[in-house]
Amino acid sequence: MSIMATSSYCSTTNGVELFNHYGSNSRLIRFSSINTSSKLFLTRTSNFRRAERCFYVKSTLSEPKQKVQDPITDLGAESDLSSFAPDAASIASSIKYHAEFTPLYSPERFELPKAFFATAQSVRDSLLINWNATYDTYEKKNMKQAYYLSMEFLQGRALLNAIGNLELTGAYAEALKKLGHNLENVASQEPDAALGNGGLGRLASCFLDSLATLNYPAWGYGLRYKYGLFKQRITKDGQEEIAEDWLEIGSPWEVVRNDVSYPIKFYGKVTTGSDGKRYWIGGEDIKAVAYDVPIPGYKTNTTINLRLWSTQVPSADFYLSAFNAGEHTKACEAEANAKKICYVLYPGDESDDGKILRLKQQYTLCSASLQDIIARFERRSCDRIKWEEFPEKVAVQMNDTHPTLCIPELMRIFIDLKGLNWNEAWNITKRTVAYTNHTVLPEALEKWSYELMQKLLPRHVEIIEAIDEELVQEIVSKFGSLDLEKLEEKLTTMRILENFDLPSSVADLFTKPEIPVDNNTETVEVHDKVKASGEVVTNDEDDTGKKTSARTEAAAEKDIETKTIVRLEPAVIPPKKVRMANLCVVGGHAVNGVAEIHSEILKEEVFRDFYELWPEKFQNKTNGVTPRRWIHFCNPALSSIITKWTGTEDWVLKTEKLAELQKFADNEVLQTEWREAKRNNKIKVASFLKEKTGYSVVPDAMFDIQVKRIHEYKRQLLNIFGIVYRYKKMKEMTAAERKSNFVPRVCIFGGKAFATYVQAKRIVKFITDVGATINHDPEIGDLLKVVFVPDYNVSVAELLIPASDLSQHISTAGMEASGTSNMKFAMNGCIQIGTLDGANVEIRQEVGEENFFLFGAQAHEIAGLRKERADGKFVPDERFEEVKEFVRSSAFGSYNYDELIGSLEGNEGFGRADYFLVGMDFPSYIECQEKVDEAYRDQKRWTKMSILNTAGSYKFSSDRTIHEYAKDIWNVEPVELP
């Protein structure tokens, strides 16, 4: 049976309009045959206002003429798409069709990789039907739509999530069984999409799931990274990075939109035209092409879009004559410069070239996305474009500071391309854009070199300078009654431009008496002395550290008079910077933190002066995670138990129903079922660890897990030092004493250290060295294992989290904005050990203080503790010193860990003085771990704690978070499909 659909077009009174992506509507076409088998195919029909809907089917059948039905037309407009849900037989036919007619593999065999692609393409058919229906509804209703811009979207595998949301898991499992395959094995063939790294990207993906599920009109925008961050290998030398290969054979989910592309410019210059307008001309031109990924909602037909941009140049930019002349590199230079923008997530930025590439990435995301959003606004407005209505139709959310250039780019488009004046453009921009802050770490707030930005984006720098000048005027207007010293301090802190002179209109306020000193010199603190004899006595030191002079002390005693002269040296001119976080606060109408404690830190410390100026801008939106992926799909055994004991599956959408578990927490039947589900998950992880690392672990041990990006503030070093202490104490005991004093543990680590973050990579190396020693120690056996899981990603998390007994969220208090893995662990009944940091504070409140192992200094104490350290008042715990000495004894191999341990020593200096308070919190940490052992021995108590963690996790659904964004920041309403 062979069917071909001709190209579709519609005739109007104005002639012929060829099919256009915008306004298209996919139609479900069923071909019935005499043997009652059916296949589903998609054709498209135009949906222009004056166009007549039509389609053509060309049949090459020799059989009797088939009747072609259009279900949407035949069944009437009120028929919903869910009535066409396919059964296992039609799904099997669809999979076979894609295996044959949209192949990526040779036709001889139907093996697992081919089965995955054919299955995914079959699912995509259903998603595209819903995607087009969703898009068509948005076009017609022209309601306000939210756009979420993020440098990361850590999606994970899509197959099981998609068929789960479509409620087709059983049908696909049965269909694949008919075709000789197991659904789980087929799904395992899918690589994780390498579009993110950590919590930032995973949060963005959870938000997309909730947006679709809750029927909010929204899209995501990101970049299509070819090689991702990197694939992590663990060798004897620690972490090794290699390129991701997730796109090597393509992605079955994405749809390239060759008709959706936008020009992007870099470099060049800005000139003033005869009309008085500013024009950005010359430079380097590329284009961004759209790749769409459908995002289905759960139990809804709403399917929203993640639009990813890929960069390239037109074929005309290929320098053919140079290529034929043998200058091959020169011929491909433009193409190479364009494509590398989307090669790697977070390319190393130690070099100027690396910095330029990162800034290009950020601008590409902002410019292409905004051009797309504006084109959609113009199209939906028809001939009635009113730019003042733009914020009533568009909400742009910047996920951290990476999309900050949205602000000057939106201004540039409005002023330079759409003809708005400054005040109009600035008013619209401020009402459209909002900013989510994800960090209090200074290095993550992003400051760009002014010189570099001026070179790459000259027009945007002009706009930023004008915004900064307007900000200065507003600060002076608001705080002008302060004394000049305080006013100057606020200007220094709040300005977007760092290390810049004040505008002339304000500079006169701070005029000081001139000092007749060369502008190129400054007075040094140390002075030389000139004795009466004319001899200069310097303050130089000899090799012994003693002060020296040109004469002996005896001779010096003969001098009576001395006078001091000043040595003048060249002044150090601080580099000019552009503060992206400050620009976000100034240019956005809302600024939110992602946990209660984090939002308070923003108001009281990070953006204190801005909060004083604009208190109405600041909000809290505690993060959340999707319960679909993070309980329902990844932990089906626990999901079934929850449904049984709450009496409904509604908890998947209304997580407050999880609280129903609280009244059954002591029930022995529930506890038995709960432990059995956990143990079965641990058996799966034991098998996985054996396959990936070669280490054997027993499922009856406590699974103690810390999986997150490797960073000093997340304190994997505290965890592994605690393990070293535990191991050392074990070695000092007899076998009987060890068994009596310690609960068996499998300590699992996972996470990537950024490629140029040397200290983080040392931590990875140290963890693997400790594991290699302990895991091969016959005296310890199964009492303690340490395993580092290579290449931690979403799919690995979906395996580890359901099997966890204890999870560690032990960052230095006040440094973790929120965290989201802590929420996933809580949902899956994992008990946590942690500090009062980020969302830990709220999790502890919800699950109960007695069901959370708390230790460590609190956020308000940190600054004082660091000062005590700097003053030399800190006395380290002798157990901490014992651990350091044990590591230095080469107990874990010959590698020199002096640099790693040195960061925990001394009282001051860069990379010294234990900035993240590992030593300070160590005693509290190991004492808290003793309480963990004690609780785990009482399995009834532990299981109750586990149940209450799941019951108390209901607040941390991303559905709740998205409802809050929609109501308080975006002002968007749900739109259900007809």
Q: Catalytic amino acids?
A: 438, 708-709, 714, 820, 824
> Environment class of residue 383 by beta-carbon count within 10 Å: exposed (0-12), middle (13-18) or buried (19+)?
exposed
Interatomic CA distance for residues 715 and 840, integer angstroms: 15
Interatomic CA distance for residues 396 and 428, integer angstroms: 12
Q: Say how many C-beta atoms besides its own lie within 10 A of residue 928's C-beta.
A: 18
Beta bridge partners of 46: none
Task: Give the torsion through C-alpha atoms of 358, 360, 366, 370, to 10 deg.
Answer: -170
Strand pairing category for 9-12 and 15-18: antiparallel
Interatomic CA distance for residues 621 and 591, integer angstroms: 10
The gap from C-alpha 256 to its chain's centroid, in whole angstroms, comes to 24
Interatomic CA distance for residues 414 and 399, integer angstroms: 22
Q: Which two tokens stand for residue 469?
A: 């000048």
Interatomic CA distance for residues 916 and 811, integer angstroms: 8
Q: Say how many C-beta atoms besides its own lie within 10 A of residue 521's C-beta.
A: 13
What's 283's DSSP letter? S
Beta bridge partners of 285: 265
Q: Say how many C-beta atoms besides its own lie within 10 A of residue 544's C-beta.
A: 6
Angle formed at CA 316 by CA 310 and CA 321, multiple of 5 degrees: 125
What's the Cα-to-Cα distance from 645 to each of 541, 605, 629, 642, 802, rounded to whole Å? 78, 45, 20, 5, 18
Interatomic CA distance for residues 421 and 900, integer angstroms: 56
Please provide the distance, in angstroms rounded to a whole number, between the alpha carbons at the two ends of the chain.
34
The DSSP code sequence of 723-761 is HHHHHHHHHTS-HHHHHHH---EEEEEE----TT-HHHH
Interatomic CA distance for residues 8 and 102, integer angstroms: 20
Nearest to 390 by CA among 600, 589, 243, 678: 589
Nearest to 396 by CA among 432, 436, 427: 432
Interatomic CA distance for residues 363 and 357, integer angstroms: 10
Q: Say how many C-beta atoms besides its own lie within 10 A of residue 736's C-beta.
A: 8
Angle formed at CA 465 by CA 462 and CA 467, multiple of 5 degrees: 110
Strand pairing category for 447-449 and 433-436: unpaired
R_g of the chain, CA atoms, integer Å: 32
Beta bridge partners of 529: 537, 564
User: For residue 582, what are the contacts with CB-CB under 8 A and spacing of at least 6?
Assistant: 494, 495, 496, 610
Backbone CA torsion sign across 496, 497, 499, 500 = negative
Which phi-psi region, left, alpha or beta, contains residue 53 (left: φ > 0; alpha: ψ -120 to 50)? beta
Question: Sheet of 284-296: strands edge to edge?
Answer: 255-266, 284-296, 303-312, 218-223, 145-149, 394-399, 433-436, 591-593, 618-620
Task: Render the burial of 586-606: b for 16+ CB within 10 Å, e for the rest.
Answer: bbbbbbbbbbbbbbebbbeeb
Q: Are residues 701 and 937 in contact, defined by beta-carbon separation less than 8 angstroms?
A: no
Interatomic CA distance for residues 37 and 226, integer angstroms: 40
